[in-house]
């Protein structure tokens, strides 16, 4: 019994110690790596779960979360066409979303959109030929899914298991995400 309790405590300690606290540096590094040309400076506005966060309390608020709690992250700059809604801000906007903040209705809508973006791969797939595809890069629970597996993966995900979905409909870094990076990124987090 003592060994069992000791083993459980060891596993718990390892899991807790491997969790990384969410920091501004982590967010900024992800944005800089994912969006080529992103300008992260002192003027960037951070929005966490729909609320603009003053820069002096950002570190404190982010420290309440672990990196795996982050289900949505995006960067909008003045060159993004959708900024017309934001009246072309003078700087960039970092949008962060954590587990449990997306409504079931929004998850269902985004998941439907994500499923429509992937098509069943051809029966014959050769290693030499990578067919051009308009499909975005798919990441499920932090793991990038290869193109030929993306269709089956997304078809097998149960809607009620999704706790967050992030759809980025613009190019991301090809050096990180590969050939389909110009088609955007879909990040799905499940239980």
Domain span at residue 150 reads 102-191
In a domain, 15, yes or no: no
Kindly state the greatest CA–CA separation across the chain: 63
Q: Could you tell me the end-to-end alpha-carbon distance of the chain, in angstroms, rounded to an integer?
A: 30
Local confidence pLDDT in tens for the 191 residues of the chain: 555 444 444 443 444 445 689 999 999 999 999 988 888 888 888 999 989 999 899 999 999 999 888 888 999 886 665 545 555 556 788 999 998 888 899 999 999 999 999 877 666 555 544 555 688 999 999 899 987 888 889 999 999 999 999 999 989 999 999 888 999 999 999 98
3-state secondary structure (DSSP) of residue 145:
strand
Count the domains in the chain: 2
Residues 90 and 26 occupy one common structural domain: yes
CB atoms within 10 A of CB 68: 15
CB atoms within 10 A of CB 107: 18
Residue 27 half-sphere exposure toward CB, CA atoms < 13 A: 31
Q: Which pTM does this prediction carry? A: 0.74
Residues 183 and 119 occupy one common structural domain: yes
Residues 90 and 172 occupy one common structural domain: no
Residues 87 and 171 occupy one common structural domain: no
In eight-state DSSP terms, residue 127 is S
């Amino acid at each position: 019994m003592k060994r069992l309790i000791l083993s459980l405590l060891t596993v718990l300690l390892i899991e807790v110690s491997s969790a990384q606290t969410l920091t501004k540096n982590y967010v900024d590094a992800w944005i800089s790596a994912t969006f080529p040309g992103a300008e992260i400076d002192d003027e960037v506005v951070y929005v966490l779960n729909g609320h603009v966060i003053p820069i002096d309390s950002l570190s404190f608020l982010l420290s309440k979360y672990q990196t795996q709690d982050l289900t949505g992250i995006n960067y909008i700059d003045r060159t993004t066409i959708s900024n017309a809604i934001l009246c072309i801000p003078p700087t960039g906007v970092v949008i962060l979303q954590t587990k449990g903040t997306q409504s079931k209705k929004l998850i269902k809508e985004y998941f439907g959109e994500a499923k429509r973006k992937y098509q069943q791969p051809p029966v014959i797939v050769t290693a030499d030929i990578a067919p051009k595809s308009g499909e975005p890069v798919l990441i499920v629970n932090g793991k990038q899914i290869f193109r030929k597996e993306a269709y089956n993966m997304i078809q097998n995900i149960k809607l009620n298991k999704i706790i967050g979905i992030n759809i980025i409909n613009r190019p991301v870094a090809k050096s990180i995400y590969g050939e389909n990076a110009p088609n955007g990124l879909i990040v799905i987090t499940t239980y």
